[in-house]
Amino acid sequence: MGFITRPPHRFLSLLCPGLRIPRLSVPCAQPRPRAMALPSSSCKLPLVAVCQVTSTPDKQQNFKTCAELVREAARLGACLAFLPEAFDFIARDPAETLRLSEPLGGRLLEEYTQLARECGLWLSLGGFHERGQDWEQTQKIYNCHVLLNSKGAVVATYRKTHLCDVEIPGQGPMCESNSTMPGPSLESPVSTPAGKVGLAVCYDMRFPELSLALAQAGAEILTYPSAFGSVTGPAHWEVLLRARAIETQCYVVAAAQCGRHHEKRASYGHSMVVDPWGTVVARCSEGPGLCLARIDLSYLRQLRQHLPVFQHRRPDLYGNLGHPLS
């Protein structure tokens, strides 16, 4: 089932569990298997927006693009908008990355706190290049996932724990640790208007122990803001996100970078929302834009009741993978 509307913020039906909002088209979500109960279609369910952008080294232009999408998300009734990793900028090299980075108390984050207050919605800022308190000693930054509430207050920060130091044939080498320090810990899930959100960043999705730890700590929504490459994207992006949703019985929200950032780098895109059954209920296609999905926590609880995998775990046989957070 699907429909097209022009422009997207007029004649918008919110009866579908997931909606794609590019500039012109809005296809509805895929149906679930008949064996599973469909989620409620009530408009009272919280609506989340997933933003897809093409960041460049121009921080102010990037903010302008993100702000436009966040304002559109607010107009459409979202209570929480997700921005991808490196929403602030994508530099050409480690030296430029360090030069453009800012502390959490800097000008750019203040602009986002004002945006959250203006729009009255929560913001997941998926990967901020943060000069931490140890900047003077290390001269390295953190890849920091920042969560703002609707009053613009910072309610959680998670610093990416798994750094992407890889060499993929056809995609070029990446050594995140050249400019970035790994975070020291996980962040407990945070209660939001959409549900309890567990914070992660991009490469973290390859480590199921992290998602299991967040789920056992109460997460209902896992978020993986990302900037996946053109080789790993088609091969691994969707299957990893769906796997994390199925094994944790959580919603998975993945805002992604897309397109060519500059002459040295491009990203895969395909931002999406996956429900706890593993169905992709909303996705972006090519180019900047946003998609919407409703979060049905009663459906999540029903699924966990019917398929109680966490009650069936056998840590006596294979250890406690994804140890619950303290």
Catalytic center residues: 85, 160, 202
CA separation for the pair 81, 96 (Å, rounded): 28
Cis status, amide bond into 7, omega within 30 of 0: yes
Is 175 in contact with 184 (CB distance < 8 Å)?
A: no
Is 39 in contact with 294 (CB distance < 8 Å)?
A: yes
CA separation for the pair 95, 100 (Å, rounded): 9
Distance between the two ends of the chain, CA-based, in angstroms?
44
The token duo for 325 is: 């957070």
**Is residue 84 helix, strand or coil?**
coil
**Is residue 22 helix, strand or coil?**
coil
What are the residues facing 4 on neighbouring strands? 25
CA separation for the pair 299, 184 (Å, rounded): 34
Please name the residue ranges forming H helices in 269-324. 297-306, 315-318
Q: What is the DSSP letter of 198?
A: E
CA separation for the pair 107, 262 (Å, rounded): 24
